[in-house]
Amino acid sequence: MINLTIDRQQVSVEKGTPVLEAARKIGIDIPTLCYLKDLNAPAACRVCIVQVEGRPAFEASCVLPAEEGMVVHTNTPAVLAARKQVLELFLSDHPFECLTCERNLNCELQRLAKRYGIRDLPVEGERNHYPIDHVSPSVVREPDKCIRCRRCVSVCENYISANIYRMMDRSFQAVVGPAYNGSLMESPCIYCGQCITVCPTSALREQDSTARVFEALANPELHVVVQTAPSIRSSIAEEFGLPVGTPVEGQMVAALRRLGFDRVFDDCVAADICVIEEATEFMERLKKGGPFPQFTSCCPSWVLFCEKFYPQFVANLSEVKSPQQIFGALVKTYYAKRAGIDPAKIFVVSVMPCVSKKYELLRPEMKASGCQDIDAEISTREFVRMLFQAGLDIRKLPREEFDSPLGSASGAGVIFGSTGGVLEATLRTVYEWAGEKPLKRLEFEEVRSLEYKEAVIHAGPHELRVAVARGTGAARRLMDQVLAGKKRYHFVEVMACPGGCVGGGGQPIYIETNDWNEQVSHRTRRAGGLYQLDREREYRKAHENPVILKLYEEYLGRPGGPRAHKLFHSGHVSRKLYADEPLLKKERDLVRR
């Protein structure tokens, strides 16, 4: 242990602990902007400076290892003045749009400006101006609001492994962006949105679709149907001051009805279908002998990652579409017919924890019903904004039930929202189809060095090796192992985001903590709500859900059959990593609102 003095208090910490963490231990909160513990510590922003006795200059406490006998002052008038100056410099090159900014009252820079009582800016400096990148369907980038903290660089490099961002140019012009400071559309971005959730400002944000949804709701010609992804029911609670992960399924349904949706359906039903189709595909592969591993395909970011970075595995991706798309296809065919409504008059909205689904719904193959299967997607954040605008408070609403027929899902469909959930849900079905007794909770072993988990299960005559990769970075390591012949798997689940959909790029922002692992466990706490709902369900296996059985009997035919194939299956393609030509400026301006 190392003993040091911070603001006249003694503190002992383990060797290697930064002074910032040591201070935190005794209740002193040194401000930060770039630091995200265990993910990003480039010492770029310098708001965390402190004074160490005997040292000539102030030092950045986030990267300063505690030393024996060190005497640190974190709040002398000189330190506070210097910190204030750092903030003033940031603000002098920042657009003053707080009132109209998406991150108003949820921005780390704004919070620090308040905390340090910045009242005016003595320095009126030159400002950088860059075009806004509005081109990608999912992520908007506004470099003028970038404070060069490089968190996006770290998360995209270390966790997602797409390496989109780097520092471009130098000195005052320096900016964090994709190659050539161009559009994300020209880069191999997989639209996971993880960079959005770590950005301290609104330099990165989602494409906002709330206006389109309000418009549709106001249009009397349209029959507006909504589906909610598994994880939404446990992730909106925190935005209303409830404990993280509180399941509020019924209240969420009530809120959607009050927003004016004509039908409120559950995406988990589509997840159930996804399980059955994927399990059928897997049984066929078992019969044919491959190709293995079968990779799940319900995360569009992961699918894009595979198509771009590992095209050699494209044939391994399951052909089954994601629940969002399965649902859209079903509503505009089965439901339209049953309800006697022209599918062209149905507007399907999905509420998802995700920004990638905005991209997915535009993929050309997502027109199984003859028109675009999903019309608009809103992320959890956008959904919450709509509720705020409409004055709907989850805490004060009654519990209501989803509409039928696409409203009652099994527990398998619900746990889709959590890492490992898709695999578990599918195995519950595969296991019994292979002639076994019901599957108990899966026990996984961590492959720690490579940061994913694997298990071996015996289903009938088969010894199945399965794995779950959390994050495309882990998937990259897993695929490299498979390519090198060091590992063999039959079935692998990959989700791009930490914790699965509960940690999706469209979920509420984690502004209260600058500790990456703490952020990840925040996501996992949301999953708690889903497993609770799973336990409470009458049916926990997709293939036992009577709604699903009836759907197959009445309309779909057999799993993997011609109709199911037409509606729910699609191929995947290998894609180029980089656009040959930059998107023309003209085109970019056109897309800009």
> Minimal distance in Å, beta carbon 441 to ligand SF4?
31
Annotation says 68 is catalytic: no
Q: Which of 134, 151, 363, 526 binds ligand SF4 (CB under 6 A)?
A: 151
Q: Does 172 engage in binding with another protein (CB under 8 A)?
A: no
The DSSP code sequence of 344-388 is: GGEEEEEEES-SHHHHHTTSTT--TTSS-S--EEEEHHHHHHHHH
Q: Does 577 engage in binding with another protein (CB under 8 A)?
A: yes
- The radius of gyration of the chain from alpha carbons, rounded to an integer in Å, stands at 25
Q: Which residue has the tokens 């997502």?
A: 366
Of 142, 249, 360, 424, the active-site residue reads: 360
Q: Which of 395, 396, 458, 576 binds another protein (CB under 8 A)?
A: 576
Q: Does 128 engage in binding with another protein (CB under 8 A)?
A: no
Tokens encoding 18? 């930064």
Residue (204 or 351) nearer to ligand SF4, CB: 204
Q: Does 139 engage in binding with ligand SF4 (CB under 6 A)?
A: yes
Which of positions 382-441 make contact with ligand SF4 (CB under 6 A)?
none
Find the part of the chain contacting another protein (CB under 8 A) among 90-98, 172-180, 320-328, 498-506: 172-180
Tokens encoding 347? 């507007």
Cα–Cα distance for residue pair 446/555, rounded to 1 Å: 42
Q: Find the DSSP H helices in 9-48.
A: 19-25
Return the closest-CA partner of residue 322 out of 496, 177, 472, 206: 496
Q: Which of 156, 229, 248, 368 binds ligand SF4 (CB under 6 A)?
A: 156
By a kind-dependent CB cut-off of 5 to 8 A, residue 151 interacts, out of ligand SF4, another protein, ligand FES, none, with: ligand SF4
Of 37, 145, 308, 357, the active-site residue reads: 357
Q: Is 373 within 8 Å of 323 (Cβ atoms)? A: no
CA distances from 388 to 101, 236, 393, 394, 464 (A): 16, 12, 7, 10, 47
Tokens encoding 581? 């030509």
Annotation says 357 is catalytic: yes
Q: Does 271 engage in binding with ligand SF4 (CB under 6 A)?
A: no
Residue 454 DSSP code: E
Q: Does 275 engage in binding with ligand SF4 (CB under 6 A)?
A: no
By a kind-dependent CB cut-off of 5 to 8 A, residue 33 interacts, out of ligand FES, another protein, ligand SF4, none, with: ligand FES
Return the closest-CA partner of residue 466 out of 442, 435, 497: 442
Q: Which residue has the tokens 């990840």?
A: 520
CA distances from 15 to 27, 51, 59 (A): 19, 20, 18
Find the part of the chain contacting ligand SF4 (CB under 6 A) among 149-157, 237-245, 248-256, 452-460: 149-157
By a kind-dependent CB cut-off of 5 to 8 A, residue 35 interacts, out of ligand SF4, another protein, ligand FES, none, with: ligand FES
> Minimal distance in Å, beta carbon 48 to ligand FES?
3
Cα–Cα distance for residue pair 95/537, rounded to 1 Å: 50
Q: Which of 11, 23, 41, 146 binds ligand SF4 (CB under 6 A)?
A: 146
Annotation says 576 is catalytic: no
Tokens encoding 492? 């692998």
Cα–Cα distance for residue pair 81/104, rounded to 1 Å: 25
Q: Does 168 engage in binding with another protein (CB under 8 A)?
A: yes
Q: Does 158 engage in binding with another protein (CB under 8 A)?
A: no
Cα–Cα distance for residue pair 527/500, rounded to 1 Å: 9
By a kind-dependent CB cut-off of 5 to 8 A, residue 260 interacts, out of ligand FES, another protein, ligand SF4, none, with: none
Q: What share of the chain is helix, strand, coil (3-state, %, to 5)?
A: 45, 15, 40
Cα–Cα distance for residue pair 573/312, rounded to 1 Å: 10
Q: Which of 51, 110, 194, 322 binds ligand SF4 (CB under 6 A)?
A: 194
Q: Does 484 engage in binding with another protein (CB under 8 A)?
A: no
Annotation says 501 is catalytic: yes
> Minimal distance in Å, beta carbon 417 to ligand SF4?
19
Q: How many CA atoms lie within 13 A of 49 on its CB side?
A: 22
Annotation says 365 is catalytic: yes
Q: Is 196 within 8 Å of 505 (Cβ atoms)? A: yes
Q: Does 155 engage in binding with ligand SF4 (CB under 6 A)?
A: yes
Annotation says 298 is catalytic: yes
Q: Which of 11, 36, 86, 192 binds ligand SF4 (CB under 6 A)?
A: 192
How many Cβ atoms sit within 10 Å of the Cβ of residue 60? 23
The DSSP code sequence of 194-236 is: HHHHH-SSSSEEEPP-HHHHHHHHH-TT-EEEEEE-TTHHHHS
Q: Which of 2, 552, 574, 583 binds another protein (CB under 8 A)?
A: 574
Of 102, 281, 377, 454, the active-site residue reads: 281
Annotation says 101 is catalytic: no
Q: Could you list the residues that contact ligand FES (CB under 6 A)?
A: 32-35, 43-48, 60, 62
By a kind-dependent CB cut-off of 5 to 8 A, residue 350 interacts, out of ligand SF4, another protein, ligand FES, none, with: none
Q: Does 314 engage in binding with another protein (CB under 8 A)?
A: no
Annotation says 443 is catalytic: no
Interface ranges with ligand SF4 (CB under 6 A): 139, 146-152, 155-156, 160, 162, 164, 176, 189-195, 198-201, 203-204
Interface ranges with another protein (CB under 8 A): 163-170, 178-180, 187, 574, 576-578, 580-582
> Where in the sequence numbering do the catalytic residues fall?
278, 281, 298, 318, 357, 360, 365, 501
